[in-house]
Amino acid sequence: MFNFHLIDTNSVSAIVNWRYEPPYDLYNYLEEDATLQYFLNPQNNFYKIVNENGDLVGYCSFGQDGQVSGGDYRYDALDIGMRIRPDLAGQGKGIEYANAVLGFTENLLKPKAFRVTIAAFNRRALRLWQKLEFEPQQSFERKSDGMQFIILVRVNY
């Protein structure tokens, strides 16, 4: 149902123009040039997610990009970051997107465990990952602004 491709300049240009409504507006991007360089850096492992029609519906990343300053990331797990296009978010299809990301990642990287770091206010994302058997491991405050985050982990058997 979904295909994954390394992110490209056109996709990043579209993504930086996505606008989320409050309280999710903290996910809006402000500086396109810095964002473009960040997304296109191969070390950040960004992939675009496209549907069967080839439309950009989201993106994901694997590794350090999914971590937030202040969290304890010593446990060996693959960090996942994921965002869905704003007009598609909140429609009850998050499990489809997340399952596709997990399946793609399992085939590509075969991690022992997955980890996500979610803003504590983002109840719908927390519910989503918990439905997928991710368990809360830690909550912490980001040093730069005091925002609360929760780290969830799922061990692969």
Interhelix angle for 94-109 vs 123-131, to 10°?
60
Domains of the chain: 3-116 (3.40.630.30)
Q: Backbone phi, then psi, for 102, in 5-degree steps?
A: -65, -45
pTM over 0.85: yes
pLDDT tens readout for residues 11-54: 999 999 999 999 999 899 887 767 889 999 988 999 999 999 99
53-107 pLDDT, tens digit per residue, is 999 999 999 999 999 999 999 999 999 999 999 999 989 899 999 999 999 999 8
Which residues on adjacent β-strands are paired with residue 45? Answer: none
Higher pLDDT pick, 33 / 118: 118
* Residue 7, pLDDT above cutoff 90: yes
Q: What is the pLDDT of residues 123-140, one digit of tens each?
A: 999 999 999 999 999 999
What element of type H or E holds 118?
strand 113-119
Read off φ and ψ for residue 6, nearest 5 degrees.
Answer: -50, 140
pLDDT of residue 3 exceeding 70: yes
